């Protein structure tokens, strides 16, 4: 195994171990998606059904799965600030490999954790009453879950690379996450929106992830499967490149 592969594997394993050692963090990351799924799913369900939209749980579940992924993925970036303050990052950066390798390893770890969280919320949604349109196509949704996880893990790491204040990071993340989530079509259909809002949703990377997961699991799509996959793949590659560059310039 090359030095590159060893570093990526070690950082991937470390990210996963750190996350799942904290039970409070695990429970906290699931509480909000479950609350949204139950409270909004059943609270707005009758209204959505009267409006001719059908079963709201079927519509909202893919969006809540995406929500659990994006929150876990972006907040994994705080590990960069934590490691910088406590010296672990400095030890990692002296490894005889390019810094982008370290960035990729951290991103792999954070994305793996975020994807697993998305799968947990998917199974919780099944208990609540969500039913995939075609159970045999359900594994394809994992592709979009992984892409969302990689995009937002890299995005969170890129932002953390330019920050030193651990207290400011969650504030900035919430400032970014909530608009991205609410304007992704996770809670309401994208069709029929005002032009200005529609343009924002089209520029939102999460819109394509939510639409892809919803299309596979619920059979409802605003774009097309190929458009969702292509856009999200391109944007993920771009943010990984930007994140790797910013991480290579980090100072400890």
Q: What is the pLDDT along the chain (252 residues), one digit of tens a residue?
A: 565 677 667 666 776 666 666 555 666 677 888 888 888 888 888 887 777 778 889 999 999 999 999 988 888 777 777 777 766 666 666 666 677 787 888 888 888 889 989 999 999 999 988 999 888 888 899 999 999 999 999 998 888 888 777 777 778 888 888 899 999 988 888 888 888 888 999 999 999 999 999 999 998 888 889 999 999 999 999 999 998 888 877 765
* pLDDT (0 to 100) of residue 84: 73
- The per-residue pLDDT for 22 is 59
Of 200, 201, 194, 197, which Cα lies nearest the Cα of 222? 201
Tokens of 90: 């400095």
Domain count, the chain: 1
For the chain, the distance separating the N- and C-terminal CA atoms, rounded to the nearest angstrom, is 28
Determine the Cα angle at 33 with ends 29 and 35, to 5°. 115
Contact of 212 with 229, CB cutoff 8 Å: yes
> In whole angstroms, how far apart are CA 87 and each of 71, 90, 207, 251?
26, 5, 37, 12
Both tokens of 133, joined, read: 């349109």
Per-residue pLDDT, 215? 93
Nearest to 69 by CA among 111, 114, 29: 114
Domain span at 171: 3-248
CB atoms near residue 46 (< 10 Å): 10
What integer pLDDT is reported at residue 19 of this predicted model? 64
**The pLDDT of residue 38:** 86
CA 177 to chain centre: 10
Secondary structure element (H or E) that encloses residue 88, with its range: helix 88-93
Q: For 188, which DSSP code?
A: S
Question: What whole-number distance in Å separates Cα of residue 69 and Cα of residue 56?
Answer: 20
The pTM (predicted TM-score) of the whole model is 0.89
């Amino acid at each position: 195994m090359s030095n590159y592969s060893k570093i990526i594997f070690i950082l991937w394993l470390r990210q996963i171990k750190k996350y799942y050692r904290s039970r409070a963090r695990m429970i906290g990351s699931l509480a909000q998606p479950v609350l949204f799924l139950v409270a909004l799913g059943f609270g707005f369900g009758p209204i959505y059904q009267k409006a001719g939209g059908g079963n709201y749980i079927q519509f909202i579940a893919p969006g809540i799965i995406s929500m659990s992924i994006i929150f876990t993925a972006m907040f994994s970036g705080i590990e960069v600030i934590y490691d910088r303050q406590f010296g672990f990052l400095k030890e990692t950066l002296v490894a005889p490999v390019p810094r982008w390798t370290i960035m990729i390893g951290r991103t792999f770890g954070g994305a793996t954790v975020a994807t697993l969280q998305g799968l947990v919320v998917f199974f919780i949604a099944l208990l609540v009453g969500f039913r995939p349109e075609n159970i045999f196509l359900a594994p394809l949704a994992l592709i979009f879950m992984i892409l969302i996880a990689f995009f937002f893990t890299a995005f969170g790491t890129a932002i953390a690379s330019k920050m030193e204040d651990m207290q400011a990071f969650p504030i900035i993340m919430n400032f970014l996450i909530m608009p991205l989530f609410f304007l992704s079509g996770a809670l309401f259909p994208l069709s029929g929106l005002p032009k200005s809002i529609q343009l924002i949703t089209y520029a939102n990377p999460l819109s394509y992830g939510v639409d892809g997961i919803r299309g596979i699991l619920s059979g409802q799509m605003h774009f097309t499967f190929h458009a969702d996959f292509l856009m999200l793949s391109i944007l993920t590659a771009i943010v990984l490149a930007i994140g790797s560059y910013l991480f290579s310039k980090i100072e400890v």
